[in-house]
Protein backbone atom coordinates (compact mmCIF):
# COMPACT_ATOMS: atom_id res chain seq x y z
CA UNK A 1 0.00 0.00 0.00
CA UNK A 2 1.19 3.50 -0.82
CA UNK A 3 1.40 5.81 2.16
CA UNK A 4 -0.15 9.17 1.48
CA UNK A 5 2.14 12.16 1.27
CA UNK A 6 -0.42 14.86 2.03
CA UNK A 7 -2.88 14.40 4.89
CA UNK A 8 -6.35 13.63 3.57
CA UNK A 9 -8.52 16.70 3.84
CA UNK A 10 -11.42 14.49 4.85
CA UNK A 11 -9.41 13.34 7.91
CA UNK A 12 -8.66 16.96 8.84
CA UNK A 13 -12.31 17.88 8.44
CA UNK A 14 -13.60 15.01 10.57
CA UNK A 15 -10.95 15.52 13.29
CA UNK A 16 -12.98 18.36 14.78
CA UNK A 17 -10.40 21.11 14.20
CA UNK A 18 -11.77 24.64 14.61
CA UNK A 19 -9.08 26.35 12.54
CA UNK A 20 -7.45 25.12 9.35
CA UNK A 21 -3.67 24.54 8.95
CA UNK A 22 -1.84 27.54 7.56
CA UNK A 23 -0.97 25.87 4.25
CA UNK A 24 -4.69 25.87 3.36
CA UNK A 25 -5.10 29.60 4.02
CA UNK A 26 -5.22 31.60 0.81
CA UNK A 27 -3.02 34.68 0.20
CA UNK A 28 -4.42 37.96 1.51
CA UNK A 29 -5.26 39.35 -1.94
CA UNK A 30 -7.56 36.37 -2.59
CA UNK A 31 -9.35 36.44 0.77
CA UNK A 32 -11.20 39.68 0.06
CA UNK A 33 -13.18 37.96 -2.73
CA UNK A 34 -14.19 34.77 -0.86
CA UNK A 35 -17.77 35.00 0.39
CA UNK A 36 -20.43 32.63 1.75
CA UNK A 37 -21.24 30.39 -1.21
CA UNK A 38 -24.89 29.84 -0.20
CA UNK A 39 -25.46 33.61 -0.04
CA UNK A 40 -23.59 34.10 -3.32
CA UNK A 41 -25.68 31.47 -5.12
CA UNK A 42 -28.93 33.24 -4.15
CA UNK A 43 -27.93 36.47 -5.86
CA UNK A 44 -30.00 37.14 -8.96
CA UNK A 45 -28.56 40.49 -10.00
CA UNK A 46 -25.63 40.68 -12.37
CA UNK A 47 -24.48 38.25 -15.05
CA UNK A 48 -25.50 34.57 -14.79
CA UNK A 49 -23.85 31.53 -16.37
CA UNK A 50 -25.90 30.75 -19.51
CA UNK A 51 -28.11 27.67 -19.71
CA UNK A 52 -28.14 26.03 -23.15
CA UNK A 53 -30.99 23.68 -24.06
CA UNK A 54 -29.61 21.03 -26.42
CA UNK A 55 -33.02 19.54 -27.25
CA UNK A 56 -32.92 20.99 -30.77
CA UNK A 57 -29.20 20.59 -31.51
CA UNK A 58 -29.99 18.00 -34.23
CA UNK A 59 -33.54 19.14 -35.10
CA UNK A 60 -34.87 18.39 -38.60
CA UNK A 61 -36.08 21.99 -38.74
CA UNK A 62 -33.11 24.02 -39.95
CA UNK A 63 -34.25 27.27 -38.31
CA UNK A 64 -34.80 25.59 -34.94
CA UNK A 65 -31.48 23.70 -35.19
CA UNK A 66 -29.51 26.81 -36.11
CA UNK A 67 -31.02 28.81 -33.24
CA UNK A 68 -29.86 26.15 -30.75
CA UNK A 69 -26.38 25.98 -32.29
CA UNK A 70 -26.06 29.76 -32.35
CA UNK A 71 -26.85 29.94 -28.62
CA UNK A 72 -24.19 27.34 -27.86
CA UNK A 73 -21.63 29.18 -30.00
CA UNK A 74 -22.47 32.52 -28.36
CA UNK A 75 -22.05 31.06 -24.85
CA UNK A 76 -18.71 29.50 -25.88
CA UNK A 77 -17.47 32.85 -27.21
CA UNK A 78 -18.75 35.09 -24.41
CA UNK A 79 -18.41 32.84 -21.35
CA UNK A 80 -16.64 29.60 -22.21
CA UNK A 81 -18.86 27.85 -19.65
CA UNK A 82 -22.54 26.87 -19.62
CA UNK A 83 -25.17 24.64 -18.06
CA UNK A 84 -26.29 22.05 -20.63
CA UNK A 85 -29.86 20.74 -20.29
CA UNK A 86 -31.63 18.12 -22.42
CA UNK A 87 -28.15 16.79 -23.17
CA UNK A 88 -29.35 13.28 -24.00
CA UNK A 89 -27.83 11.47 -20.99
CA UNK A 90 -30.56 9.95 -18.82
CA UNK A 91 -31.18 11.13 -15.27
CA UNK A 92 -31.01 7.49 -14.21
CA UNK A 93 -27.46 7.02 -15.56
CA UNK A 94 -26.28 10.32 -14.10
CA UNK A 95 -27.74 9.32 -10.74
CA UNK A 96 -25.91 5.96 -10.90
CA UNK A 97 -22.60 7.73 -11.59
CA UNK A 98 -23.16 10.04 -8.62
CA UNK A 99 -24.25 7.27 -6.24
CA UNK A 100 -21.20 5.19 -7.21
CA UNK A 101 -18.83 8.10 -6.54
CA UNK A 102 -20.46 9.08 -3.25
CA UNK A 103 -20.43 5.46 -2.09
CA UNK A 104 -16.71 5.19 -2.80
CA UNK A 105 -15.96 8.35 -0.80
CA UNK A 106 -18.12 7.07 2.06
CA UNK A 107 -15.91 3.99 2.40
CA UNK A 108 -13.59 3.83 5.44
CA UNK A 109 -10.32 5.68 4.91
CA UNK A 110 -8.24 2.48 4.90
CA UNK A 111 -10.36 1.14 2.03
CA UNK A 112 -9.86 4.28 -0.04
CA UNK A 113 -6.13 4.26 0.70
CA UNK A 114 -5.84 0.95 -1.16
CA UNK A 115 -6.35 3.05 -4.29
CA UNK A 116 -3.89 5.80 -3.30
CA UNK A 117 -1.86 7.35 -6.09
CA UNK A 118 1.84 8.12 -5.84
CA UNK A 119 2.33 11.58 -7.30
CA UNK A 120 6.02 11.68 -6.43
CA UNK A 121 6.70 8.81 -8.84
CA UNK A 122 4.39 10.25 -11.50
CA UNK A 123 1.49 7.87 -10.82
CA UNK A 124 -1.34 10.38 -10.68
CA UNK A 125 -4.27 8.00 -11.28
CA UNK A 126 -6.11 6.87 -8.17
CA UNK A 127 -7.11 8.36 -4.82
CA UNK A 128 -5.21 11.47 -3.76
CA UNK A 129 -4.94 14.92 -2.27
CA UNK A 130 -3.16 17.91 -3.77
CA UNK A 131 0.54 18.10 -3.00
CA UNK A 132 1.94 21.53 -2.29
CA UNK A 133 3.05 23.47 -5.31
CA UNK A 134 6.63 24.01 -4.11
CA UNK A 135 6.74 27.68 -4.95
CA UNK A 136 3.60 28.75 -3.12
CA UNK A 137 3.21 25.93 -0.61
CA UNK A 138 -0.56 26.28 -0.98
CA UNK A 139 -2.94 23.37 -0.56
CA UNK A 140 -6.56 23.05 -1.69
CA UNK A 141 -9.42 21.83 0.49
CA UNK A 142 -10.20 18.65 -1.47
CA UNK A 143 -9.47 14.98 -1.93
CA UNK A 144 -10.07 13.34 -5.30
CA UNK A 145 -10.17 10.17 -7.36
CA UNK A 146 -8.66 10.43 -10.85
CA UNK A 147 -8.52 7.95 -13.74
CA UNK A 148 -8.85 7.58 -17.51
CA UNK A 149 -12.28 6.34 -18.61
CA UNK A 150 -12.15 6.48 -22.45
CA UNK A 151 -11.04 5.13 -24.98
CA UNK A 152 -11.77 1.66 -23.60
CA UNK A 153 -8.44 0.17 -24.72
CA UNK A 154 -6.48 2.74 -22.69
CA UNK A 155 -8.24 2.09 -19.37
CA UNK A 156 -6.32 0.64 -16.43
CA UNK A 157 -9.06 -1.35 -14.72
CA UNK A 158 -6.77 -2.35 -11.84
CA UNK A 159 -7.24 1.07 -10.23
CA UNK A 160 -11.01 1.36 -10.72
CA UNK A 161 -12.89 0.99 -7.42
CA UNK A 162 -14.35 -2.51 -6.85
CA UNK A 163 -16.84 -1.04 -4.36
CA UNK A 164 -19.57 -0.20 -5.07
CA UNK A 165 -20.20 -2.91 -7.64
CA UNK A 166 -21.96 -0.47 -9.98
CA UNK A 167 -18.94 1.87 -10.16
CA UNK A 168 -17.44 0.14 -13.23
CA UNK A 169 -20.65 -0.42 -15.26
CA UNK A 170 -22.04 3.07 -14.53
CA UNK A 171 -18.74 4.79 -15.38
CA UNK A 172 -18.25 2.77 -18.57
CA UNK A 173 -21.76 3.55 -19.80
CA UNK A 174 -21.42 7.23 -18.88
CA UNK A 175 -18.07 7.53 -20.69
CA UNK A 176 -19.60 6.27 -23.95
CA UNK A 177 -22.55 8.68 -23.72
CA UNK A 178 -20.29 11.60 -22.80
CA UNK A 179 -17.92 10.84 -25.68
CA UNK A 180 -20.85 11.03 -28.06
CA UNK A 181 -21.97 14.36 -26.52
CA UNK A 182 -18.41 15.71 -26.95
CA UNK A 183 -18.61 14.91 -30.69
CA UNK A 184 -21.88 16.84 -31.00
CA UNK A 185 -20.48 19.86 -29.16
CA UNK A 186 -17.22 19.87 -31.14
CA UNK A 187 -19.22 19.68 -34.40
CA UNK A 188 -21.22 22.78 -33.49
CA UNK A 189 -18.08 24.64 -32.39
CA UNK A 190 -16.36 23.72 -35.68
CA UNK A 191 -19.26 25.00 -37.76
CA UNK A 192 -19.29 28.15 -35.59
CA UNK A 193 -15.77 28.91 -36.82
CA UNK A 194 -16.71 28.26 -40.44
CA UNK A 195 -14.85 24.93 -40.42
CA UNK A 196 -15.94 21.49 -41.55
CA UNK A 197 -18.06 19.74 -38.94
CA UNK A 198 -15.44 17.17 -37.90
CA UNK A 199 -12.45 19.49 -37.91
CA UNK A 200 -12.05 20.39 -34.22
CA UNK A 201 -12.57 16.80 -33.12
CA UNK A 202 -9.85 15.69 -35.54
CA UNK A 203 -7.54 18.46 -34.25
CA UNK A 204 -7.85 17.21 -30.64
CA UNK A 205 -7.25 13.55 -31.46
CA UNK A 206 -10.45 12.08 -32.85
CA UNK A 207 -12.14 8.96 -31.49
CA UNK A 208 -8.87 7.04 -31.04
CA UNK A 209 -6.73 9.65 -29.31
CA UNK A 210 -8.96 12.11 -27.40
CA UNK A 211 -8.68 11.01 -23.77
CA UNK A 212 -11.50 11.29 -21.24
CA UNK A 213 -10.02 11.70 -17.76
CA UNK A 214 -12.45 11.55 -14.86
CA UNK A 215 -11.78 13.35 -11.58
CA UNK A 216 -14.20 13.03 -8.69
CA UNK A 217 -13.57 16.05 -6.45
CA UNK A 218 -14.52 15.61 -2.80
CA UNK A 219 -14.72 18.84 -0.80
CA UNK A 220 -15.25 18.09 2.91
CA UNK A 221 -16.89 20.57 5.28
CA UNK A 222 -14.42 23.30 6.17
CA UNK A 223 -14.40 25.02 9.59
CA UNK A 224 -13.11 28.27 8.05
CA UNK A 225 -14.48 28.38 4.49
CA UNK A 226 -13.76 32.10 4.24
CA UNK A 227 -10.01 31.33 4.33
CA UNK A 228 -9.75 28.35 1.95
CA UNK A 229 -10.54 27.27 -1.60
CA UNK A 230 -11.58 23.84 -2.81
CA UNK A 231 -9.79 24.52 -6.08
CA UNK A 232 -7.71 27.63 -6.73
CA UNK A 233 -8.32 29.86 -9.74
CA UNK A 234 -7.32 28.18 -13.00
CA UNK A 235 -8.39 27.54 -16.57
CA UNK A 236 -8.80 23.94 -17.75
CA UNK A 237 -6.06 22.67 -20.05
CA UNK A 238 -8.52 20.28 -21.73
CA UNK A 239 -10.44 20.65 -25.00
CA UNK A 240 -13.77 20.38 -23.18
CA UNK A 241 -14.68 19.62 -19.56
CA UNK A 242 -18.04 18.17 -18.46
CA UNK A 243 -19.05 18.44 -14.80
CA UNK A 244 -21.77 16.89 -12.64
CA UNK A 245 -22.18 17.87 -8.98
CA UNK A 246 -24.28 16.96 -5.95
CA UNK A 247 -26.27 20.22 -6.09
CA UNK A 248 -24.11 21.95 -3.47
CA UNK A 249 -22.89 25.28 -4.89
CA UNK A 250 -19.19 26.06 -5.16
CA UNK A 251 -18.20 26.82 -8.74
CA UNK A 252 -17.26 30.44 -9.43
CA UNK A 253 -16.36 31.98 -12.79
CA UNK A 254 -14.26 35.11 -13.29
CA UNK A 255 -16.43 37.08 -15.71
CA UNK A 256 -15.96 40.74 -16.64
CA UNK A 257 -13.67 41.35 -13.68
CA UNK A 258 -15.89 39.76 -11.00
CA UNK A 259 -16.42 36.32 -9.48
CA UNK A 260 -19.83 34.97 -10.50
CA UNK A 261 -21.25 31.98 -8.60
CA UNK A 262 -22.86 29.31 -10.79
CA UNK A 263 -26.39 28.34 -9.83
CA UNK A 264 -27.24 24.70 -9.22
CA UNK A 265 -29.38 23.80 -12.26
CA UNK A 266 -31.20 20.46 -11.84
CA UNK A 267 -30.40 17.69 -14.37
CA UNK A 268 -27.74 19.80 -16.06
CA UNK A 269 -24.14 19.13 -17.01
CA UNK A 270 -21.77 22.07 -16.68
CA UNK A 271 -19.46 22.37 -19.67
CA UNK A 272 -16.23 24.35 -19.89
CA UNK A 273 -14.35 25.24 -23.04
CA UNK A 274 -10.73 24.32 -22.27
CA UNK A 275 -7.41 25.86 -23.29
CA UNK A 276 -6.98 23.46 -26.24
CA UNK A 277 -10.11 24.76 -27.99
CA UNK A 278 -9.28 28.35 -27.06
CA UNK A 279 -5.87 27.90 -28.75
CA UNK A 280 -7.25 26.19 -31.88
CA UNK A 281 -9.93 28.90 -32.25
CA UNK A 282 -7.30 31.64 -31.75
CA UNK A 283 -9.15 32.94 -28.69
CA UNK A 284 -12.59 33.09 -30.32
CA UNK A 285 -13.85 30.50 -27.83
CA UNK A 286 -12.96 31.32 -24.23
CA UNK A 287 -11.33 29.14 -21.57
CA UNK A 288 -12.66 30.91 -18.48
CA UNK A 289 -10.83 31.34 -15.18
CA UNK A 290 -12.74 29.51 -12.42
CA UNK A 291 -12.35 28.25 -8.86
CA UNK A 292 -14.24 26.29 -6.21
CA UNK A 293 -15.47 27.57 -2.85
CA UNK A 294 -16.07 25.36 0.19
CA UNK A 295 -18.48 25.65 3.11
CA UNK A 296 -18.91 24.45 6.68
CA UNK A 297 -22.38 22.91 6.32
CA UNK A 298 -22.32 20.45 3.42
CA UNK A 299 -19.87 18.17 1.66
CA UNK A 300 -19.62 19.10 -2.02
CA UNK A 301 -18.79 16.50 -4.65
CA UNK A 302 -18.26 17.12 -8.35
CA UNK A 303 -17.56 14.70 -11.19
CA UNK A 304 -15.38 16.34 -13.82
CA UNK A 305 -14.46 14.66 -17.10
CA UNK A 306 -11.64 16.35 -18.99
CA UNK A 307 -11.50 15.66 -22.74
CA UNK A 308 -7.78 15.95 -23.45
CA UNK A 309 -5.76 15.74 -26.66
CA UNK A 310 -2.85 13.27 -26.63
CA UNK A 311 0.21 14.67 -24.86
CA UNK A 312 2.76 14.56 -27.69
CA UNK A 313 1.12 13.61 -30.99
CA UNK A 314 -0.60 16.88 -31.84
CA UNK A 315 0.70 20.43 -32.10
CA UNK A 316 -1.82 22.85 -30.66
CA UNK A 317 -1.81 26.19 -32.46
CA UNK A 318 -4.41 28.56 -33.93
CA UNK A 319 -5.93 26.98 -37.02
CA UNK A 320 -5.02 28.85 -40.23
CA UNK A 321 -8.69 29.66 -40.85
CA UNK A 322 -8.88 31.55 -37.55
CA UNK A 323 -5.89 33.76 -38.30
CA UNK A 324 -5.77 36.88 -40.48
CA UNK A 325 -3.77 40.10 -40.79
CA UNK A 326 -6.11 41.78 -38.34
CA UNK A 327 -6.21 38.69 -36.10
CA UNK A 328 -2.66 37.35 -35.79
CA UNK A 329 -2.06 34.11 -33.88
CA UNK A 330 -2.43 34.65 -30.12
CA UNK A 331 -0.70 31.41 -29.11
CA UNK A 332 2.65 29.82 -30.10
CA UNK A 333 2.64 26.20 -31.33
CA UNK A 334 2.97 23.70 -28.46
CA UNK A 335 2.19 20.08 -27.78
CA UNK A 336 -0.41 19.48 -25.06
CA UNK A 337 2.41 18.37 -22.78
CA UNK A 338 4.36 21.58 -23.45
CA UNK A 339 1.25 23.65 -22.79
CA UNK A 340 0.83 22.03 -19.37
CA UNK A 341 4.50 22.58 -18.54
CA UNK A 342 4.26 26.21 -19.66
CA UNK A 343 1.31 26.80 -17.33
CA UNK A 344 3.05 25.12 -14.39
CA UNK A 345 6.23 27.12 -14.99
CA UNK A 346 4.31 30.38 -15.21
CA UNK A 347 2.38 29.59 -12.04
CA UNK A 348 5.62 28.76 -10.21
CA UNK A 349 7.22 32.04 -11.38
CA UNK A 350 4.20 34.05 -10.27
CA UNK A 351 4.23 32.38 -6.86
CA UNK A 352 7.94 33.12 -6.42
CA UNK A 353 7.44 36.77 -7.43
CA UNK A 354 4.59 37.21 -4.97
CA UNK A 355 6.67 35.98 -2.02
| 298 catalytic residue (yes or no) | no
| 156 catalytic residue (yes or no) | no
From the candidates 73, 83, 112, 236, give the one annotated as an active-site residue. 236
pLDDT score recorded for residue 1 = 38
Summarised one tens digit per residue, pLDDT across range 237-282 is: 999 999 999 999 999 999 999 999 999 999 999 999 999 999 999 9
Output the pTM of the full model.
0.96
Q: What is the mean pLDDT of residues 34-41?
A: 96
Beta strand 143-150 pairing with 126-129: antiparallel
pLDDT score recorded for residue 61 = 97
Beta strand 51-53 pairing with 81-85: parallel
Sketch out the chain's domains with CATH numbers: 21-354 (2.60.120.330)
Local confidence band at 300 (pLDDT 50, 70, 90 cut-offs):
very high
Instruction: Give the list of residues 6+ apart from residue 73 with CB closer than 8 angstroms, or none.
Output: 188, 189, 192
Residue 172 has pLDDT above 60, yes or no: yes
| 177 catalytic residue (yes or no) | no
From the candidates 83, 87, 214, 215, give the one annotated as an active-site residue. 215
Local confidence band at 136 (pLDDT 50, 70, 90 cut-offs):
low
pLDDT score recorded for residue 350 = 75
Summarised one tens digit per residue, pLDDT across range 75-122 is: 999 999 999 999 999 999 999 999 999 999 999 999 999 999 998 888
pLDDT score recorded for residue 348 = 76
Summarised one tens digit per residue, pLDDT across range 176-228 is: 999 999 999 999 999 999 999 999 999 999 999 999 999 999 999 999 999 99
From the candidates 214, 290, 317, 339, give the one annotated as an active-site residue. 290
pLDDT score recorded for residue 287 = 98
From the candidates 202, 234, 343, 347, give the one annotated as an active-site residue. 234
For Cα atoms 49, 51, 57, give the angle at the middle one, nearest 5 degrees.
Answer: 140
pLDDT score recorded for residue 288 = 98
DSSP 190: H
Residue 137 has pLDDT above 90, yes or no: no
| 290 catalytic residue (yes or no) | yes
Amino acid sequence: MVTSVAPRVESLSSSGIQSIPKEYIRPQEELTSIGNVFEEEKKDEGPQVPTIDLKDIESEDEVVRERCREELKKAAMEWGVMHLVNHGISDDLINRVKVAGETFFNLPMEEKEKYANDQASGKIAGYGSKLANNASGQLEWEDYFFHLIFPEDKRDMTIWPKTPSDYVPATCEYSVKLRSLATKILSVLSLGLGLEEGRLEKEVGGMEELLLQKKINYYPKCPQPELALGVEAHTDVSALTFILHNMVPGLQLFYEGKWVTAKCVPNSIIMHIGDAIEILSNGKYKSILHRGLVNKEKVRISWAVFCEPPKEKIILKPLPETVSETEPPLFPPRTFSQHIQHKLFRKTQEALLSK
